[in-house]
Amino acid sequence: MNANAFCSVMDRQQYRQFLFSLDWLGYNMPYLAVVGCGQAATGQKIKAEVRKRFPGLLCFEQWQDSDDFARAFSVAPGSTVLLDFQKQDKKLTDAQVAGQLLFYRDKAVGQRLQLICLTSVRQFDAIHREAFDFMAAASFVHAFGESRQAIPAHQHLTIAKTTTINE
């Protein structure tokens, strides 16, 4: 997919990095991407690209309670899973979604799941705030749109380590 079709100039490089990071899914290693989408069309285009690359993709789009998360994280080890929170019912708050993702983080890594989480930018910010450990474990973190979290989680960790070493 052409990144110019829907990304701003600043997001084009990040989108190319996201596509490059998808190549790691072929190595049967755990993978986690948290992608905030400023527009529904952006999320749909990303979802279409991922489905094209991974025909066996499992997609979960309905989020009404914690049982939905249990089902999504009970897939076979090594599965490629897309968790789409963009159209989620408002039965769960963004903080509850973040809490569930944090709760299942170790299971996802332990079972070598390859997760791609599509969120709205508002949800992306909530997950960043409420489930920082989930974001820190991610292979790719970026919001395509206006986000209050300017620096992805893994870059926060790098900055913190650099500051500690230099002091």
Q: What is the pTM of this model?
A: 0.78
The Cα–Cα gap between 113 and 81 comes to 7
pLDDT tens for 6-33 read 445 456 788 888 888 888 777 777 888 9
Residue 81: predicted pLDDT: 93
Confidence of residue 75 (pLDDT cuts 50, 70, 90): very high
Q: Taking 80 as the threshold, does the pLDDT of residue 64 lie above it?
A: yes
- In tens, the pLDDT along 105-159 reads 888 888 989 999 999 888 898 888 888 888 888 888 888 876 655 444 444 443 3
Q: Where are the alpha helices (DSSP H) in 23-113?
A: 40-53, 66-72, 94-110
* Contact predicate 132/153, CB 8 Å: yes
Q: Is the CB of residue 37 less than 8 Å from the CB of residue 121? A: yes
The CA–CA distances, whole Å, from 34 to 27, 46, 161, 163 equal 19, 12, 22, 26
Residue 89: alpha-carbon gap to chain centroid: 18
* C-alpha 150 chain-centroid distance: 16
pLDDT for 21 equals 85
